[in-house]
Amino acid sequence: MGKINFVYISLILSIINAIFLIVIWWHQRSLNKLKKTFFAGRNGKDLEDVLLTLSLDLKNTRDEQLVLEEHLTELKRNFQFAIQKVGTVRFSPFADTGGNLSFALALLDGEDCGVIITNMHSRDYNRIYLKKILHGKSEIALTNEELKAIDLAKTSPQI
C-alpha cells in the first residue's frame, strides 16, 4: 500500500509539474511575440536614438512654453492700458429734438482710466466734448448721462 500511494503522489506531482511547464512555456511564447512586435525593425541603438530625440523634443517644448508664459505675462501687463470697458448712453438733451441722437461714450482701460466722448445734437448744431477720466473720475464736472456711461462701462463685460 505504501508503494501505491507513493506512485499516485508521484503521478499527481508529475502532472502538476507538466501543467506548470506548459503554462510557463505559454507565457514565454507570449512574451517573445510581444517583444518581436515591440522591437520589430529596431535594434537597441535605434530605440536609444528615439528616446534621446523624444527627450530633446520635450526639453525644447518646455523651453518654448516658458518663453510663451513670459510673453503672456507681458501681454496681460500691457493689456491693462488698452480699452477694455465701454459704456454708452443715448439721450435727448433738448426739448425740441427727439430720437435720442445725442450720446455719451465712455472708453476705459483696466484701471478705469480713459476718456468720455459726449455728442450733443440739436437742430442747428452738433457739439462734441471729450473729457479725460482717471480712475473713474474727471477733473471736469460730468453730466448725469456721462456718469451713467462710466458706470455702465465699469460694470460691462470686458472686451
Pick from 9-18, 94-103, 143-152 the range whose average pLDDT is largest: 143-152
**Residues of the domain holding 48:** 42-79
Shared domain check, 116 and 74: no
Amino acid identity of residue 44, one-letter, is: G
Residues 69 and 98 in one domain: no
The answer to whether residues 53 and 65 belong to one domain is yes
From CA 106, how far away is CA 114, in angstroms rounded?
A: 8
Place of cell 450720446: 103
- Whether 157 shows a pLDDT value over 80: the answer reads no
Q: Are residues 1 and 57 in the same domain?
A: no
Number of domains in the chain: 3
C-alpha cell at 21: 511547464
Mean pLDDT of 29-33: 88
| Same domain, residue pair 97 and 120 | yes
Residues 130 and 92 in one domain: yes
Residue 156 DSSP label = S
pLDDT tens per residue across span 75-120: 888 887 888 899 999 998 776 666 788 999 999 998 899 999 999 9
pLDDT at 41: 64
Q: Is 48's pLDDT higher than 90?
A: no
Quickly list H helices, 80-101: none
For residue 95, what is its C-alpha cell?
Answer: 426739448
**Cα separation, 97 vs 103, whole angstroms:** 13
Indicate whether 143 and 95 sit together in one domain.
yes
The answer on 133 and 104 residing in a single domain is yes
Q: Cα 1 from chain centroid?
A: 81
Are 35 and 46 in a shared domain?
A: no
CA angle 117, 122, 128 (to 5 degrees): 20
Question: Are 93 and 68 in the same domain?
Answer: no
Which grid coordinates are listed for 143?
453730466
Q: Answer whether residue 131 shows pLDDT above 90.
A: yes
What pLDDT, on a 0 to 100 scale, did the predictor assign at position 51?
85
pLDDT grade for 42, boundaries at 50, 70 and 90: low
Percent of the chain with pLDDT over 90: 51
Question: What is the mean predicted confidence (pLDDT) over 39-50?
Answer: 70
